[in-house]
Amino acid sequence: MDVGLLIDFEHIIKPRKLIRLQNKIFPIPDGYANSVRGLILIIPKNDYTTLKQLKNGDDRVQYINSQEFIDNISGHAYVLYNKHKLVCELICAECSLLPIVVQSTLMSIPNDVTLFVSTKLHDPNIDKSIQQYVKLDFNEVYISEKSPIGYTVKEPRLYMTRKNDVIESSNVDTSINNTKYIVKQLKSLQNDNSCKLRVKLSEKAINYLQSVSMIGSTMNRDGAITQKEIAGRLVVGNIGDDLTHYLDVDRSSIVHGNEEEVQIIDGLYNFHSHPVEAYDRHNKKYGWPSSQDYIGFFGASISYDTILHIVSSIEGFYVISLGSFWAKNKNILKTKNIKFILEECNIDVETPTLYLKEVNKVSMDGHQLFNVQFFSWNDADSLVAVNYTNNDLNCFTNKETLSKYKVL
């Protein structure tokens, strides 16, 4: 059986000029400021035991530079470790040895460190590498021209990360499809500079959202019970092979507002309800988004990177996203546009179809401001297509990955 042996390259190999060993471990990556290089050698368990029985220092160094030891090395990898940023980049010549490499980092490197592996985007074996990485729980993915250690690479690479700890495995197919989506969207970004997402509500999300206009009653101070608006976050659950993202309701995010409004919840996807009691109070047949709802989404798209907002109503659900021009140019949206939105998105017509026609006409600086779609509950499993804003070379659909990317 083979095991991994982590050796401090800077302090043990570099100063001692271990020529025989150095010939075996090419190419040696450059060293970078604030980071140290570790070398992981894949060796037979017996050799590992022999080494551990030797005295620390010269005896051990002599042994690892011996021909016998070197002949038994079946592979190697480098670990670039930045202890200030708590990141570790793994550079392996032979990806198939990665399971032993990760075993070795789990044992020898602090567990609060995040591990990174990467592959060239044009690598013909990219699919194989992705599968290998995902199997080892490298689940979060992004594309960058900068290594997590801080140096720049010649062409963008696909990075995949995981905590250097025991982690709960997630759905392998979804993780692979998420990676495929990120790679595919880079091409879309290069074509027309915006991210395109196709989502569907999961069956559970449909069940919840369809009911949410009929629930939400709480007791008021005077003892009367009235129905309140409910808001919450949606998150991507599964991603299908056709790269459709299925949204689930994050039940831990649910909040109650008052009868007429509720705060918008931080998230890439969020929703709020229009309670049935409000229909009666305002003598309305339909409960499409209010102009205040557009202010809410507008603010959330700037503050929380919200991609889409759902208004759940009795008749179905309305999906608000940015118009395609503004999805590409979100950075020039300003809060001073609020008065304009309040006036323009206050629309009083007869039916949802007429409503969509009017609200989708609202344009700012000559470009459609919001893209609003409506689906009756009978069509609740329809595909919803939206445009949204990229982060550099990435179209993130997951808030955790986006937040981690922003602080890299």
- In angstroms, what is the minimal distance from the CB of 306 to Zn ion? 15
CA-to-CA distance for 382 and 250, rounded, in angstroms? 20
Token reading at 188: 């879309």
Report whether the peptide linkage leading into residue 289 is cis, meaning its omega lies within 30 degrees of zero.
no
162 vs 309, beta carbon nearer Zn ion: 309
Q: Listing from the earlier edge strand, what are the strands of the sheet with 384-388?
A: 370-376, 316-322, 308-312, 269-273, 230-239, 245-256, 195-201, 384-388
CA-to-CA distance for 396 and 267, rounded, in angstroms? 12
Closest alpha carbon to 197 in 186, 187, 205, 185? 185
**Footprint on this chain of Zn ion (rule: CB under 5 A):** 290, 293
- In angstroms, what is the minimal distance from the CB of 311 to Zn ion? 6
- In angstroms, what is the minimal distance from the CB of 296 to Zn ion? 8
Q: How many CB atoms lie within 10 A of CB 142?
A: 26
Find all residues with CB under 8 Å of 119, minimum gap 6, and list them.
Answer: 125, 126, 129, 130, 133, 157, 158
- In angstroms, what is the minimal distance from the CB of 274 to Zn ion? 6
134 vs 311, beta carbon nearer Zn ion: 311
104 vs 270, beta carbon nearer Zn ion: 270
- In angstroms, what is the minimal distance from the CB of 262 to Zn ion? 8
Contact of 74 with 46, CB cutoff 8 Å: no
- In angstroms, what is the minimal distance from the CB of 361 to Zn ion? 20
- In angstroms, what is the minimal distance from the CB of 295 to Zn ion? 10
Write the DSSP symbol of residue 11: I
CA of residue 39 relative to chain centroid, distance? 30
CB-nearest residue to Zn ion = 293
198 vs 284, beta carbon nearer Zn ion: 284
4 vs 275, beta carbon nearer Zn ion: 275
293 vs 305, beta carbon nearer Zn ion: 293
22 vs 290, beta carbon nearer Zn ion: 290
Token reading at 406: 């922003």
